[in-house]
């Protein structure tokens, strides 16, 4: 197990190194474009030359890359041009906000989707299976940009129960989290429930499940102790992949509700061409992606004793 974790750590470092090279080639290989984005299209050639010299762009590309990489390793991620603040401060503040949103999404998503998926999968073809499958397909087919408008129309304009934005200007307010969490859970639980249902159907037809039932074990014990544990491998993978999706894939939801999270930060950095901020956000995303998949691989060994990593 220690060897596996060490290999994954090296894999994380290698992935981040490759990502850093690609980011540098994409964002900083053409200094003139960087100067235009920083000073504006109406800046003079002399002003751009002075700015490039002050920021070290007169040096060769490989020296600038290793300078940026060295600064990144020690925590100096430069300054954000849009926010006029250190990139580390901006990134971690917005990442913490998305962490709060993701926490409440998973609190409701995991029990709801897994329970419905198991109920549908343990009785394939039954009325409950068809009803749950139909609801799951319907909610999963509605994209977030449509459901945001729908829930706003209902809870803000018709019922007047909830505030229309989630900017948290006056501090943390749980009422401002209701609609973003609702949109993400409604959109996502159908997909996870369908994955759980398919995995559960497959497990219910395995020989060990039939053997356990023929031995006279209680059906609830057979399903929850033997079936559910083995059926959880695929949904667990999907749920951990959703951590990455919540980081970068909730741009529509965060932007619509003015929620100051990681997704809206990525959009702001991209639209403003804030290169240092984009580089910091991308590296964080890569690290979390590799980390969550490592957690998933370790969880597989607990769920299924047949899975072992050398």
Q: How far apart are CA 257 and CA 271, in angstroms?
A: 18
Crossing angle for the helix pair 87-121 and 127-140, to the nearest 10 degrees: 150
User: Is the pLDDT reported for residue 107 higher than 90?
Assistant: yes
User: Is the pLDDT reported for residue 310 higher than 70?
Assistant: no
Residue 147: which pLDDT band, with cuts at 50, 70 and 90?
Answer: confident
| Predicted pLDDT at 90 | 92
User: Is the pLDDT reported for residue 156 higher than 60?
Assistant: yes
| Predicted pLDDT at 64 | 83
**Residue 99 burial by CB count (10 A; 0-12/13-18/19+): exposed, middle or buried?**
middle
Domain with CATH 1.10.3720.10 in the chain: 88-303
| Predicted pLDDT at 91 | 92
Domain made up of 88-303: CATH architecture: Orthogonal Bundle (1.10)
pLDDT digits 0-9 by tens, 210-266:
777 677 777 777 777 767 777 787 888 888 877 877 776 688 888 888 888 888 888
pLDDT digits 0-9 by tens, 253-302:
888 888 888 888 888 888 877 878 888 888 888 888 888 877 877 777 77
Q: What is the pTM of this model?
A: 0.82
| Predicted pLDDT at 237 | 80
| Predicted pLDDT at 174 | 86
DSSP assignments along 219-278, one per residue:
HHHIIIIIIHHHHTHHHHHHHHHHHHHHHHTTHHHHHHTT--SHHHHHHHHHHHT-HHHH
């Amino acid at each position: 197990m220690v060897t596996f974790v060490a290999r994954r750590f090296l894999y994380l470092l290698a992935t981040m190194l490759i990502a850093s090279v690609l980011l540098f080639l994409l964002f900083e290989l053409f200094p003139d474009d960087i100067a235009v984005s920083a000073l504006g299209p109406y800046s003079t050639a002399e002003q751009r030359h002075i700015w490039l010299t002050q920021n070290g762009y007169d040096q060769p590309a490989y020296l600038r890359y290793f300078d940026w990489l060295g600064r990144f390793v020690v925590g100096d991620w430069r300054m954000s041009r849009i926010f006029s603040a250190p990139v580390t401060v901006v990134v971690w503040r917005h990442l913490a906000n998305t962490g709060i949103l993701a926490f409440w999404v998973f609190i409701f998503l995991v029990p709801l989707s897994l329970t419905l998926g198991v109920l549908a999968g343990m009785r394939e073809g039954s009325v409950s299976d068809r009803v749950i499958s139909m609801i799951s397909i319907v909610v999963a087919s509605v994209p977030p940009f449509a459901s945001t408008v729908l829930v706003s129309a209902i809870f803000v304009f018709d019922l007047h129960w909830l505030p229309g934005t989630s900017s948290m200007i006056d501090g943390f307010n749980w009422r401002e989290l209701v609609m973003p969490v609702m949109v993400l859970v409604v959109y996502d639980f159908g997909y996870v429930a369908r994955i759980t249902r398919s995995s559960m159907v497959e497990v219910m037809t395995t020989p060990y499940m039939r053997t356990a039932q023929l031995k006279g074990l209680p059906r609830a014990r057979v399903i929850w102790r033997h079936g559910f544990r083995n059926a959880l491998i695929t949904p667990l993978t999907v749920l951990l992949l959703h951590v990455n999706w919540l980081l970068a894939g909730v741009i529509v939801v965060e932007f619509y509700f003015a929620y100051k999270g990681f997704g809206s930060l990525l959009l702001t950095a991209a639209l403003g061409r804030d290169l240092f901020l984009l580089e910091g956000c991308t590296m964080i995303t890569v690290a979390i992606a590799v980390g969550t998949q490592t957690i998933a691989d370790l969880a597989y060994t607990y769920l299924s004793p047949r899975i072992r990593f050398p």
